[in-house]
Amino acid sequence: MSKRLLACAMLLMSTNLHAANEAQDDTFKLAPKMTISIDYVPASNDMYGITLAPYHYDRDYSNWGYYIGYARSKDETFEVEEPGEAFTRETLWRFGLSYSLTRHFSVYGGASVYIAELHSTTNIMPLCTDCKPVWEKDDDKNWGGEVGLRYMTDMGLMIGAGYNTATESAVISIGFAM
């Protein structure tokens, strides 16, 4: 048992030392890249979206980057008294900073806003020809934060996972860096 514990401790220490050596080496500075990823957010209604995450172009801050993301659910209709109509829609905006720990791993964190919208009409129809029902919109905004981890392969494939407090769910991303 103690041999396994000692082996695990040595393995953890060696990866930390390797990461420190890479961080001090000038060859570690990242080249400018742009990552485009497809996101899945399993909130109350499943949301799908896109995230753009460019790495900084300033050589003095090459390990830093930023991101902006947008996700939206399908419009979900629900029954109301005739002739009224109603549907809901959920959107999520995300933005923040990222920092590269090693050549392959980076952490990110930022703010997000989750908007749950209710679009509905009243049961009152105007008495005129070619009149359309009047739509009302009620939305509920919930601000939050998020943190996560991204892994990028040498070929440019990027996989990310994080937690968003506004939706109280995960954010799963897969994309490609150019």
- Looking at residues 48-71, what average pLDDT do you find? 84
Residue 67: inside a domain: yes
Closest CA to 81 of 141, 136, 135, 122: 122
Residue 11: inside a domain: no
By the 8 A CB rule, do 51 and 173 touch?
A: yes
Which segment of 126-130, 155-159, 161-165 scores lowest on mean pLDDT? 126-130
What local confidence, expressed as pLDDT, does residue 36 receive?
Answer: 95
Residue 97: inside a domain: yes
What local confidence, expressed as pLDDT, does residue 172 receive?
Answer: 96
Tally of structural domains, the chain = 1
pLDDT band at 5 (very low <50, low <70, confident <90, very high): low
For 85, the domain range is 33-177
pLDDT of residue 85 exceeding 90, the answer is no
**CATH code (residue 162):** 2.40.160
The b-or-e profile of 14-23 (16+ CB within 10 A means b, else e) is: eeeeeeeeee
Residue 14: inside a domain: no
Residue 41: inside a domain: yes
pTM of the complete model: 0.74
Residue 56: inside a domain: yes
Residue 90: inside a domain: yes
Residue 17: inside a domain: no
92-122 pLDDT, tens digit each: 999 999 998 888 899 999 999 999 998 888 7
